[in-house]
Structure 1
Amino acid sequence: MTPTPIWHSPAEVPADLGPTAVSIGNYDGVHRGHRAVLDQLVRHAEARDLAPVALTFWPHPRHVMTGVAEPPLLTGHADRDRLLLLAGVAGVLDLEYTLEFAQHSPEDFVRTFLVEGLGARCVVLGEDALFGKGNSGTIHTMRALGEELGFEVVTVADVGPEGEGSGRISSSAIRADLLRGDVAAAAEMLGRRHTVTDTVHHGFQRGRELGFPTANLGPHPAGLVPADGVYAGRLTVLEQDPRHEGCPPLAGAPATISIGTNPTFTVDGVPQRVVEAYVHGDHTLDLYGDTVRLEFVDYQRPTLRFESVDALVVQMHEDVEVTRRTLEVDASRPESAG
């Protein structure tokens, strides 16, 4: 089996990797703006016969420096690195960010990780890139270090929603869209559908009792959970529980996804906030213990309180039909993000 090219220290970088072209960033969401930089990284690497490498960090530096997990991240750790590899880099140097690590001066950081650790001959960055202790290193610092240490610096212009020169796509703008439920607008900036990932947990079985069994995620899935509401989406099984080996895993299965505190059912009078997905079709499906990815295609409606269980069931049938129509339209679009 070929090792996954994700390294957590310079010592893990293969000795035969050769000289590299490197880009540095947190890459939360690996959105279209990030991929513009990564595309340039790959292009410049190919032109110079270098290996393209993304250098990134985990946890997010802001979380470490403030001690607060804010802002919430668009993607989980594994998904972020997976998306970087899908962008075409030869490897990812994923460094643990700590308060001690944050003390590296700009020169120490560049010399230790870019030059000595990765053999960088080209560094590709946005014009507003910052690095080193207190974010004191700027693009001007990087150019000066490049002249001293023997690497070229290439800058990449910001990419906006309508392409280069139309503003700036940012993780914070995508986060704002998701937190108001506009998953379609978020997908435009991401360049793909937003996803969350988790292991399927046992819920209260109420959906099964109503004829709509759901796959319930845990309280803290990987990836930013959008605003409360009902969404059209898809479910993919990433890793099966050993009990399910031999069963064909689902891939992009149509799903109606519900997020929020259930105002119709409570526990000891307290509404419970859940993320759950009803997979269309086979009601005997067993996903407990499987790791799944939920993909959000479009927002359908807010969460509602129903006067009776019968009224809730009627609405659930309608939700499934809306999802079906939405996904049929989505599948017919050549530019549909997956």
Structure 2
Amino acid sequence: MTRTPIWHSVQDVPADLGATAVSIGNYDGIHRGHRFVLDQLLRHAEARSLTPVALTFWPHPRHVMRGVAEPPLITGHADRDRLLLLAGVGGVLDLEYTLEFAQHAPEDFVRIFLVEGLGARCVVLGEDALFGRGNSGDIETMRELGRRYGFEVVTVADLGPEGEGSGRISSSAIRAELLAGDVESAAEGLGRLHTVTDTVRHGYQRGRELGFPTANLGPTPDGLIPADGVYAGHLTVIAQDPAHAGTPPLTGAPATISIGTNPTFEVDGTPRRTVEAYVHGAHDLDLYGDRVRLEFVAFQRPTLTFESVDALVEEMRHDVEVTRRTLGTVHSRPAMTD
């Protein structure tokens, strides 16, 4: 049996893992700055014949400490861990973050999780890293604990937009770009297309009636929903409903993605925000129950209200044509795929 290299407690860590090099972080978005740190982790692990491991947390510590789901996260839980593995680490220790967990003193955290749990011989961190109860441990604390417990501490400079030392690529900046609909700038910071993932469910069937059947996601897909509007993108089926077994799953299919409350139509006067994707040419496609990943390539237009259904249909035809042109001419960074 193949072991999944994602562990949720130190008891899950394989006994034969061996000595490790470890990097610690929340890794929201797994952006270029995160991957720069992870690349350094891999380099130092290889030089020392160690297994590279990422130590991370879920839920986000800020959500737990503040009691509210703010800030919204760029990447869902499963995708975050998937992207960590795709970055090349040999394992992910994904710990549940609770108020009780937050009370670990810096030394207890290091001893329990890094030394005893992972057998760390090298720890790779940014200069501004904080850890332990009340963020009371800093990089000097880690160096002192490294001397005490026998592991090396390696610091990594921030990666900025123009390379090392040119500022900082941050999850906060990428989050703000997505919330403004600027998926292209967000892709520059991420080093890949932004994605959201969910299971396709039944909607109001309006798109099918108008000749543009759409795959409808739920109200809270995994991944940050960009600003309302219409986008050019792709749709990939990552897990099929058993009823669709035998049908080749879509991979990177051209799609026009709409986000918003469909202001041309009202349902009981209560607006409901939706995310839906029209797969080009797929008029008879059945995706209900499939888990899909949407990739956002470019923003096309804001959400509009139309005076008639005919005007809406005409605009939808135009949206599809704009998507075709965009996907044919824009060099889009591919998402990291399985």
- Please give the TM-score of this superposition, normalised by the length of structure 2: 0.98
- Output the CA distance in 2 between the equivalents of 1:161 and 1:111: 36
Structure 2: how far apart are the matches of 1:97 and 1:52? 22
Name the counterpart of 2:53: 53
The residue number in structure 1 matching 2:233 is 233
Determine the C-alpha separation between the residues in 2 that align with 1:92 and 1:194. Answer: 22
Gaps of 5+ in 1: none
TM-fit CA distance, 1:152: 0.3
The Cα shift of 1:87 comes to 0.5
Matched residue SS, 2:264 = strand
SS in structure 1 of the partner of residue 261 of structure 2: strand
1:336 Cα deviation (Å)? 2.7
Cα pair 2:228 2:302 within 8 Å, conserved: yes
1:224 deviates by 0.3
Q: 1:336 aligns with which of 313, 316, 333?
A: 333
Shift of 1:166: 1.3
Deviation of 1:300 after TM superposition, in Å, equals: 0.2
* Secondary structure in 2 matching 1:270: coil
Distance 1:262 1:223 in 2: 21
In 1, distance between residues paired with 2:159 and 2:207? Answer: 43
| 2:259 is aligned with 1:259 | yes
Q: CA deviation at 1:272?
A: 2.4
Query: Could you say which residue in structure 2 is the equivalent of 1:142?
Result: 142
CA–CA separation in structure 1 for the residues paired with 2:63 and 2:271? 30
Runs of 4+ that moved beyond 6 A: none
Do the aligned partners of 1:62 and 1:70 also contact (CA within 8 Å) in 2?
Answer: yes
Aligned partners of 1:81 and 1:139: how far apart in 2?
Answer: 25
Shift of 1:29: 0.4
Q: How far apart, in 2, do the equivalents of 1:336 and 1:291 lie?
A: 22
Q: Distance in 1 between matches of 2:180 and 2:44?
A: 38
**Contact 2:191–2:333 (Cα < 8 Å) also in 1:** no
Offset at residue 271 of structure 1 (A): 2.6
Please give the secondary structure, in 2, of the residue aligned with 1:324.
helix
Is 310-319 or 264-273 further displaced after alignment?
A: 264-273
Q: Show the 5 A alignment for 1:110-129.
A: 110-129=110-129
**C-alpha separation in 2, matches of 1:11 and 1:177:** 39
Distance 1:154 1:5 in 2: 24
> Equivalent residue of 2:262, what SS?
strand
Aligned to 2:85, what secondary structure does the other structure show?
Answer: helix
Following superposition, the deviation at residue 106 of structure 1 comes to 0.4
Whole-angstrom CA distance in 2 between matches of 1:145 and 1:268: 61
* RMSD (Å), alpha carbons: 0.8
> SS state of the match for residue 265, structure 1?
coil
CA contact (8 A) 1:230 1:302 kept: yes
- 2:163 is matched with 163
Tell me, yes or no, if the aligned pair for 2:187 and 2:333 is still in contact at 8 Å: no
- 1:105 corresponds in structure 2 to 105
Output the amino acid matched with 1:337.
P
Cross-structure match for 1:76: 76
Q: Which amino acid aligns with 2:71?
A: P
Residue 3 of structure 1 and its aligned partner are, at CA, apart by 1.8
1:159-213: CA deviation from partner (whole Å, max 9, x where unpaired): 1111111110111000000000000000000000000000001000000000000
- For residue 181 of structure 1, what is the amino acid of its counterpart? G
Q: Is the 8 A contact 1:266 1:272 kept in 2?
A: no
Letter in 2 for 1:139: I
- 2:271 aligns to what SS in structure 1? strand
Match of 1:248 in 2: 248
Report what 1:23 is aligned to.
Answer: 23
Deviation track 1:111-159 (CA, whole Å, cap 9, x = no partner) reads 0000000000000001111100001110010001001110000000001
Report the TM-score, using the length of structure 1 for normalisation: 0.98
| DSSP-derived class of the 1:243 partner | helix
Name the structure 1 match of 2:154.
Answer: 154
| Gap runs ≥5 in structure 2 | none
How far has the Cα of 1:53 moved from its partner? 0.1
Q: Is the 8 A contact 1:107 1:145 kept in 2?
A: yes
1:96 corresponds to: 96
Measured in 1, the distance between the counterparts of 2:194 and 2:63 equals 22
Secondary structure at the counterpart of residue 319 of structure 2: helix
Once the two structures are TM-superposed, the CA of residue 269 in structure 1 deviates from its matched residue by: 2.2
| CA–CA separation in structure 1 for the residues paired with 2:253 and 2:266 | 29
Separation in structure 2 between the aligned mates of residue 135 and residue 21 of structure 1, nearest angstrom:
22
- 1:206-221 alignment runs, 5 A limit: 206-221=206-221
Give the Å deviation of 1:33: 0.5
Q: Secondary structure at the match of 2:312?
A: helix
